[in-house]
Structure 1
């Protein structure tokens, strides 16, 4: 079905968002058109405000509206432990736990030779510089359990080992509530390797 040009452009804009197919984009476009002018203006203002006012922390690389970010300014944090994550979304997920009290370093992606992303294309140079001038004794690698996540973790581990810094990886295994019969071989292997004593 052909839509008027403004609607088609709106659908195209929504479809550029990750995980949004053409059907969902169409539904979002028509929902937006049914909103009040005030709500649409607020939505547009919030979108532009987020785009213009947010930046990356010059210390850890986390998305922030102040530099350095609130986490890097927090003097109660443990300076000896550094958790390396792929994105700012991962920082938010860890902070929701309210258990981790160390520092963060955000990579803004993963090494992915298949996609032409090398070590120089992610936030690794600042990590090395940061570790030279710090008291970090342990680096926790919290990259995803994908081929790119594993490759990135191995690369970082190799460059940090000579510095005498303890490098650990988040445990992997079965999710709570999952059935063993439905788990893939890699997940089962990780579950066996990361078993704990009761």
Structure 2
């Protein structure tokens, strides 16, 4: 017996969520339709509103309902610091840690050649325009310590090398392979405070001291 077309369409739509397979999507669909029609209606309305009202902030590229998000529009933020993160969730995690008072740029992804995601797909051209506006003095790279995040951080550092702003990387107090969204706030704050410069790399063959 096949499901009704409307039910199949709902299940297929739920499968687009990360980590949701066919069985989980089917359980979600049954729950929304049978147990929580009010919740289903709220979900539908919220998705419709988000799709029709959200756009990207003109300066930092995060989601916003206005041309400038609340952070970019805040005159109390430091305009000379620009923190580069992968996703809006990373921005929110840094804000919760209360360790940074500058502005942001959200890549909306990370470079991943295996997934055909290159510099263009993560808005590196837009980042360069933002970082080289003659106001930014330091670019703090806060991409995740995954293989893709490290590749992205390296490419950003190379693109900015010798072009004005100091480039730093948040410290490795974060676990290798870890993602900012899931790191405890005190560890994240310490990583930001102990960020390392990427513009004056020492020769690895030269002993310290």
In the superposition, the TM-score normalised over structure 2's length comes to 0.77
Q: Are 2:111 and 2:151, in contact at CA under 8 Å, matched by a contact in 1?
A: yes
Gaps of 5+ in 2: 176-193, 195-209
Gaps of 5+ in 1: 176-193
SS at match of 2:162: helix
List aligned pairs for 1:50-61, cutoff 5 A. 50-61=50-61
Cα distance between partner residues in 1 of 2:130 and 2:23: 45
Answer with 74-83 or 117-126: which moved more: 117-126
Q: Are 2:131 and 2:165, in contact at CA under 8 Å, matched by a contact in 1?
A: no
Aligned length: 177
List aligned pairs for 1:31-46, cutoff 5 A. 31-35=31-35, 37-46=37-46
Cα distance between partner residues in 1 of 2:48 and 2:102: 32
Match of 2:138 in 1: 138
Match of 1:189 in 2: none
User: Aligned pair 1:12/2:12, yes or no?
Assistant: yes
Quick one: structure 1 residues 68 and 174, their matched pair in 2 at CA, closer, same or farther if it must change by over 3 Å?
Answer: closer
Cα distance between partner residues in 1 of 2:152 and 2:37: 46
More helix by share: 1
Deviations 1:4-63 (A, max 9, x none): 332222222111111112222122101111245544333211110011100000111011
What's the CA shift for 1:174? 6.0
Q: Using CA pairs below 8 Å that are at least 6 residues apart, which structure has the higher relative contact order?
A: 2
SS at match of 2:134: coil
Cα distance between partner residues in 2 of 1:88 and 1:52: 18
Cα distance between partner residues in 1 of 2:88 and 2:174: 25
Match of 1:94 in 2: 94
Match of 2:154 in 1: 154
User: Aligned pair 1:168/2:168, yes or no?
Assistant: yes
What's the CA shift for 1:137? 1.6
Cα distance between partner residues in 1 of 2:43 and 2:101: 34
What's the CA shift for 1:71? 0.5
Match of 2:30 in 1: 30
Q: Are 2:132 and 2:164, in contact at CA under 8 Å, matched by a contact in 1?
A: no
What's the CA shift for 1:88? 1.3
SS at match of 2:161: helix
In the superposition, the TM-score normalised over structure 1's length comes to 0.81
User: Aligned pair 1:108/2:93, yes or no?
Assistant: no
Q: Are 2:82 and 2:131, in contact at CA under 8 Å, matched by a contact in 1?
A: no
Cα distance between partner residues in 1 of 2:39 and 2:84: 38
